[in-house]
Amino acid sequence: MEATICFIGAGNMAQSLIGGLISSGYDKNKIIATDPNQEQRDLVTQKFAIQCLADNDQAIGQSSIVVLAVKPQILQQVCAEIENIVNQQNPLLLSVAAGIRSADIARWLGGDKAIVRTMPNTPSLIQSGATGMFANDSVSLEQKSQAEHIMRAAGLTIWVDEEPQLDAVTALSGSGPAYYFLFMEAMEKAGAELGLDAKTAHLLTLQTALGAAKMALESHQDCQTLRRNVTSPNGTTEKAIQSFQSNNLESIVKTAMQAAQSRAKELADELGG
């Protein structure tokens, strides 16, 4: 029998997971959401035909899995509000809040708890996400597989063994969509400067990004081989690649990701209070 899941916070991330779960066949009667905002509750009830309540305690009281899907800045306050019912019910807790460590969530809820901390990314909103997941020592194997089932509704899931590795996940896939958007912005602008109209440059940029990602996913060849396949000896691509390399693209990417990883650690310290 499917476990009852409640989503605390019925915003973008919760809706994307709920949508994914429902399309994967999860029983709607086993999904509850909560939100203090009446408009948000009406929207979710209308969109998914699930129960959406204002009262967190009432929802948690019926659930064996609780997904914490509020903004990181208010998670401590929300934990204080739900501490009593969580201690009575003892559900699996799954957090999608960026940058809050599992030990901080456990402490805010009064001690040892089964917590899966995740680092999703924004393409989760269109079920094309990549989510890093970490389970603390109190999470059972069955709970791990339940957590994975929920997050898989939003795309790819990968477990890490050590929680600090989520800072590297944040630097890679958490922030990563923004790196690709930046690269696409640069290509669109350059395409326009080379003589294309803006719309043409935009469409060619997007389709090229999509095609490259699909090829990399569907092909059995690694990215380096695929790149070499495009690069004819003494051709056009070779000139562009040489230009990127002489400007140290690899080191630029590594330095940027190190900066993101350091900031992830700092943020966890700041938000952990």
Ligand X SMILES: O=C(O)[C@@H]1CCC=N1
- Candidates 6, 17, 66, 97: give the one binding ligand NAI (CB under 6 A): 97
Strand partners of residue 130: 156
Stretch that binds ligand X, among 124-132, 159-167, 170-178, 214-222 (CB under 6 A): 170-178
- Candidates 2, 3, 11, 47: give the one binding ligand NAI (CB under 6 A): 11
211 touching ligand NAI, by CB under 6 A: no
Site for ligand X in 40-99 (CB under 6 A): 98
Q: With respect to ligand NAI, which residue has the nearer C-beta, 61 or 202?
A: 61
9 touching ligand NAI, by CB under 6 A: yes
Strand segments (E) across the chain: 5-8, 31-34, 51-53, 65-68, 92-95, 115-119, 129-135, 155-159
CB atoms near residue 267 (< 10 Å): 16
CB atoms near residue 103 (< 10 Å): 15
Structure tokens at 3: 């476990």
35 touching ligand NAI, by CB under 6 A: yes
Strands 5-8 and 115-119: unpaired
C-alpha to C-alpha distances, 212 to 206, 207, 222, 226, nearest whole angstrom:
10, 8, 12, 9
**Cβ-contact 123, 100 below 8 angstroms:** no
174 touching ligand X, by CB under 6 A: yes
CB of 27 to ligand NAI, least distance (A): 22
Footprint on this chain of ligand X (rule: CB under 6 A): 98, 170, 174-175
Footprint on this chain of ligand NAI (rule: CB under 6 A): 8-14, 34-37, 40, 56, 69-72, 74, 78, 96-98, 120-122, 124, 174
What are the binding residues? 8-13, 56, 69-72
What are the binding residues for NADPH? 56
